[in-house]
Chain A
Amino acid sequence: MYELTEAFRIALAQIGAHKMRSALTALGVIIGITAVTLMGAAIHGMDVSFERSLDLLGNDVLYVNKWPWTNMVDWWNFVNRPPILPENAARLNKIIAATPHSLLEVSVPVCVYGVSVKTGTHQASGVFLDGTTYAYARLLTADVVEGRFFTPEESDGGRQVGVIGADVADTLFPGQPAVGQSMMLGGQPYRVVGVLSRQGPFLGRFSYDNQIFVTIASARKYFGTPRNGGTEVRVKVRDPARMDDAVDELIGAMRRVRGQLPGERDNFTINQQQAFKSQLDPVKRVIALVGLFITGLALSVGAIGIMNITFVSVKERTREIGTRKALGARRRTILLQFLIEAVSICVAGGLAGVAVTFGLSLFIAKSLPNLPVDLSFALIAISMLVSVVTGVLAGFAPALGASRLDPVDALRYE
């Protein structure tokens, strides 16, 4: 026990006595740990933003599309499918209503367009316009923070009202309440009845905040009905825990809606958050493994530096080792002394590396907000553990050599 505190004292004194050498050795570890933690932070950040993005799809919503989200192999099969039509949703709702104990709650049609929108003074282009029905309010992942979603009457009557995303509200009506204001969509005046809460980007590519919901009847009237994938049916399920059964029920119902014969292949695809996730997980894992392997190489260079300096330290202090052994130091004591010295340099380098990563991640968050970097507490703990393990691995061979020195030879060493 006292040997341990003594070993720490010796290690600190030794590092203090060779500041430059220790600092240069630690630099290797600093670079290695910075690379590893930065990579870890980037992977974790990607993961977090990916999860958040998928949450925007809703874990209780099934998407009926002409195309699958992930599999593009069977292209000819998909392109020849008849389009999904908004009317499919109305038929589907009738079937759901007629099914006792249905696992499906409601279906809504969504027609998606890319549009420009303007007021007298401001304009936003590249906005996603979603034509849908009042029932979509039940599928929203965002909250309506101002005003309301549109009513059944507005929806059925094809009234020119819209609910806008947070970015659209900021662009068109900066610093003023948006609800009650008017905006021009495709040359037609629409009244804003609601504003959605901010949701952030989806996989860093497009934003749900850059979105406008309008009544589907008015959208189809002015913009037409998109046929090749631009129209989809979204279905809310009652119990996400029974998702597989809900998918089976939906497939059966959709085949009836689409008038498909038995034995015919489905001419639609049910997409869902979970399937998306499981498709991308292996990709994520490969990215993480490759990234950590490459940055691990940087760390191993640092470890070699530690090993080298520990060998030098043992060589330089051979006589001291002999003296300590003559005074009663056991093998274990000598081993521990040099191990702790190596680990101390490693941990100091690791701490500095984490600090560098922390600074860099703050800088990245500020200058490149779309690049997700997340330095978690767990990551810091892991990197400290990695530092300790690196120190032990790198210091073990020289420390073992020191502990096995013959006291007579060591005392005689010049």
Chain B
Amino acid sequence: MNPPPEASPPPAALPRPRPIRPPGPLVIAIDDVAKLYVMGEETIHALRSVSLRIHRNEYLAIMGPSGSGKSTLMNMLGCLDTPTSGRYEFNGRNVAAMDDDELAAIRNREIGFVFQTFNLLPRSNALRNVELPLIYAGLPPEERRERARQALADVGLGNRLDHKPAELSGGQRQRVAIARALVNRPSILLADEPTGNLDSQTGVEIMALFEELYERGNTLIVVTHEEDVARHARRIVRLRDGLIASDEPA
């Protein structure tokens, strides 16, 4: 699915110096995590041994070619999946020992997902899409509507509340998805190739929005194979063959 890496164009000049916010409390602590998939007689080591600490106020990019284990790591970080071995603590709670419903609660309250393909519900308008996590959180309708409206206004879509996804451009759809990810005030925003389905201009706009979100105090993790996208982050973790190859400031 990932196109082969091309000769990347020179980095766009950033309009102003990028602030770095001091790291807050520890959110994610991964120690010696491994994930195995058994397929027939073959055992695939998607992650061999990964240890990682992520603090609040970080802006992190996870990079790596296909097969490096970055999708597996992202699913693990997003509590969509649990490790085969090792420890994973999210805000001090042991995720590896959680059952499906506890994981669902963590995903609902602590993690905001942004997908490459947006994953909006096609028959619901922008407002209802953004409300969805709040429904699962058990909020009453009036409060849901108010918070969803605010979240959409925060991503610049305050005038598109009643539009269905099909009536929105790609960039607008991704903004709806970002509003949906942030509406429940999660500890981290987890974005998987957020610009992968967008043209380059729109991609730049979305990355500018991410920059803004970071400066407003959100914690961002972006999974990508594009250097251009990763360059926006303050810290880049590179994976290769299920191991961390490098972990350094951008």
A: residues with CB less than 8 A from B are 1-3, 6, 13, 17, 319-320, 322-333, 406-408, 411
Contact = CB atoms under 8 A, between A and B. Distances in A.
A407 B80 contact: yes
Contacts of B180: 327
A408 B138 contact: no
B75 interface: yes
Contacts of B101: 330-332
Given A328-B108, A330-B100, A408-B75, A323 B135 contact: no
A326 B141 contact: no
B83 interface: no
B139 interface: yes
Interface extent on B, as a size class? 20 to 34
Given A2-B138, A17-B123, A411-B119, A327 B113 contact: yes
Contact of A325 (B104, B115, B140): B104
B108 A327 contact: yes
A3 B136 CA distance: 6
21 contacts: A2-B140, A3-B138, A13-B123, A13-B124, A325-B80, A325-B104, A326-B78, A327-B107, A327-B132, A328-B105, A328-B107, A328-B109, A328-B137, A329-B104, A329-B136, A330-B100, A330-B105, A331-B100, A407-B80, A408-B81, A411-B115
Interface string B136-155: 11111100000000000000
Contacts of B124: 13
A3 B134 CA distance: 10
Most buried by B among A1, A13, A322, A323: A323
Interface string B144-187: 00000000000000000000000000000000000010001000
Contacts of A327: 107-108, 113, 132-133, 136, 180
B135 A6 contact: yes
B148 to A, nearest CB: 13
Nearest to B76: A408
The 7 nearest A-B residue pairs measured at CB: A328-B108, A328-B136, A323-B119, A330-B104, A407-B80, A327-B133, A330-B101
Contacts of A330: 100-101, 104-105, 136
B121 interface: yes
Interface string B61-89: 00000000000000100101100000000
A17 B123 CA distance: 9
B151 to A, nearest CB: 13
A1 B138 contact: yes
Contacts of A324: 132, 136
A326 B113 contact: yes
B36 to A, nearest CB: 14
Interface of B: 75, 78, 80-81, 100-101, 104-105, 107-109, 113, 115, 119, 121, 123-124, 132-133, 135-141, 180, 184
Max chain A C-beta neighbours (<10 A), residue from B78, B113, B119: B119
A3 B135 contact: yes
A326 B80 contact: yes
A240 B236 CA distance: 96
B179 to A, nearest CB: 12
* Residue from B80, B123, B139 whose CB has the most chain A CB atoms within 10 Å: B80
Given A327-B133, A330-B101, 10 more contacts: A2-B141, A13-B124, A323-B121, A325-B107, A326-B107, A327-B180, A328-B133, A331-B100, A408-B75, A408-B81
B133 to A, nearest CB: 5
Nearest to A332: B101
A100 to B, nearest CB: 80
A367 B42 CA distance: 74
Nearest to B128: A9
Contacts of B139: 2
A322 B78 CA distance: 13
Nearest to B103: A407
A55 B140 CA distance: 59
A259 B115 CA distance: 103
Nearest to B74: A408
Contacts of B78: 326
B27 to A, nearest CB: 18
Contacts of B104: 325, 328-331
B130 to A, nearest CB: 10
A408 B79 CA distance: 10
Given A327-B180, A407-B80, A408-B80, A333 B136 contact: yes
Contacts of A326: 78, 80, 107, 113, 115, 119
A324 B135 CA distance: 11
A120 B113 CA distance: 97
A324 B107 CA distance: 10
A325 B104 CA distance: 7
B194 to A, nearest CB: 14
Contacts of B107: 325-328
Contacts of A333: 136
